[in-house]
Amino acid sequence: MNSRQIPRPIVSRMILCLVPALLAIPQVLAQEATRFQILQCDHATILEVRDGSPGGTAERYALVRHNAPFVDDGSYAAVITIPVRRIAVLSSSILPHLEDLGVLDTLVAVDDRRRIYNRQILSRIEEGLLPEVGGGARIDRERIIAARPDLVLYSPVGTEDATVAALDAAGIPVISLADWREPTPLARLQWIRVVGALTERTAQAEAILQERSARYAELRDLTRRIPADRRPRVLVNAPWRGQWPVPPADSYVAQFIEDAGGRYLWEDLDAPATEFLDFETVVLRAAAAEVWINLNAGWNTPGDLIAEDPRLASMAPFASGHVYHYGARERASGANDFWESGAAHPEIVLADLIRIFHPELLPDHRLFYYRSIFP
C-alpha cells in the first residue's frame, strides 16, 4: 500500500499532530461531527474546525495549558490558553453547553437578549452584568473588545468577515462556529466537546454526550422497525411570499424526521443547502402529507396561518389538525428555546417528534419544544 492509499482521515490526523507536537500519538475525540475534530497531543489539544466560514478552509486552533512547553509553528489560526476564563458567545446554540458544563460564569458577552431564552443569562443582562454586543450586521466590535474576552465564539458571515479581522487585530482569538451546518442532531450536540475542551470540562462533556446520545439511540430504536407505510409523511417549514424553504434530504431536520419514524416529503432532494421551492410544487407534494412541522416565527395559531396566507388552510395536515410548531418555549421578545437548549437536547426534540408521529410509542411524554397550533 503506498501513501496515496492510506485513508485520508488517518493522514490528516498524523499531520495535525506530528507537525506541532513532534511524534505525539493522536487521539481522535470527535467522530460523528463533520465540521470539527479534536486531537489530543502531548502539550496541546488541537481543534480543527472545517467550513466555519461558508466557503472557507479548515482552521486549526491550539488549546494549550498555561506554561505548557508548546511551540507555536505559526500554522494555527490561534493559540488559546485553557481553561478559558472569559468567553464571548455570539450564538445561542452554544449557550446551553456552558450551562450544562457548569461554566456559565465564564460568559462575558452575548449577541442580543432578543435571541436568548435562558432565564439566568437574561437576569445577568438585566442586572447590567453581561453586555450585549449585537449580532449579524449590527455587531459592535468595540463592545466585544471592551468586554475583555479571552475568546470569542462566533459564526462568521464569510471568509473575509470584518469582525474576525478586527478581533484578530485586537489580539482576541475567534473560533468560527460551524455547529449549525452539521447534518445530524447528534453531530450538533457533539459541539459540547468543543466547549468542554476550551473550559477543561472534557469528562463532563463526554458524560453528557454519552447520556444524551444513548437516550437518543433508545428512542430511535423505538421507531427503527416501523415500516414505510406506517410512517407519516411530513411537510416542513412555511412559505414567505410564494417561496417555500425546503431543507435537503441529508439535513438535520430530515434526520430528525427519519429517526422519529416519519417520512420526509423531500427525501429525494439533493442540494447543498435549503432550497426555496415554488409554492405550487410544494402544494402538489404536500397533498400527500399527514403531519406538518416547523412554521415561521410567530405563527402559533390556525388564525396566524390563515391571516398570513389563506391557501395554507387547504394543506392536508391543516385540514386534519396535524400542524405542530416548535413555539412551546418562546419569549415575548421572539427568543425561542428550540434554537437554544434544543441544540443540546436532541433526545427531547426526538421524543417530541415521536410523540407527534406515533403517540402510542411515548404515551407519557409531554411535548416540550413543540406544540399543536390547534387549541
Partner 1 sequence: MRLGSPLPLLLPPLLLAGLSLTIGSVAVPIREVIAAVAGTLDPESVNAIILLDIRLPRVLVALGGGAMLALAGLIMQTVFRNALAGPGVLGVGSGAGLGVAVVMLSPVAGRIATPTVLAATAGALFVLTLILTVDRYLEQTVLVLVLGLLFSYAASALAQVLMAGADPEGLQRYVYWSFGSFAVAPGWPQIAFPPAAIGATVLLRALASRMDTLLLGDLYAESSGIDLRVLRRTLLLVAGVLVGLCTAVCGPIAFLGVAVPHIARGIAASARHRFLVPATALIGASLAVTADLVSRLPGSDRVLPLNAVLSLVGVPVIVVVLLRSGRGRLSL
> Residue numbers of the site for partner 1 (CB under 8 A)?
114-115, 138, 240-243, 275-281, 283-284, 287, 296-298, 307-311, 314, 333-334
- Cβ 282 to partner 1 shortest distance, Å: 8
Tally Cβ neighbours within 10 Å of residue 321. Answer: 10
Closer Cβ to partner 1, 59 or 111, answer by number: 111
CB of 120 or CB of 314, closer to partner 1: 314
Q: Which long-range contacts (CB under 8 A, 24 or more apart) does 250-256 make?
A: 250/183, 251/183, 252/182, 252/183, 252/184, 252/185, 252/187, 252/188, 253/294, 255/183, 255/184, 255/185, 256/185, 256/346, 256/349, 256/350, 256/353
Task: Give the other-Cβ count within 10 Å of 41's Cβ.
Answer: 23
Backbone angles phi, psi at 90, to 5 degrees: -110, 35
User: Closer to partner 1 at the Cβ: 174 or 335?
Assistant: 335
Residues with Cβ < 8 Å from 218, sequence gap 6 or more? Answer: none
**Quick one: 6 or 307, whose CB is closer to partner 1?**
307
Min dist CB 133 to partner 1, Å, is 14
- Cβ nearer to partner 1, comparing 52 with 342: 342
CB nearer to partner 1: pick between 244 and 256: 244
Q: Are 86 and 106 within 8 A, CB to CB? A: yes
For the CB of residue 275, give the shortest distance to partner 1 in the complex, in Å: 7
Taking the complex as a whole, the smallest distance from the CB of residue 156 to partner 1 amounts, in Å, to: 20
CB of 308 to partner 1, least distance (A): 7
**Least distance to partner 1 from the beta carbon of 254, Å?**
17
Q: Which residues contact 111 (CB under 8 A, 6 or more apart)?
A: 89, 90, 91, 92, 132, 133, 134, 135, 139
Tell me the three cell numbers of residue 249. 434530504
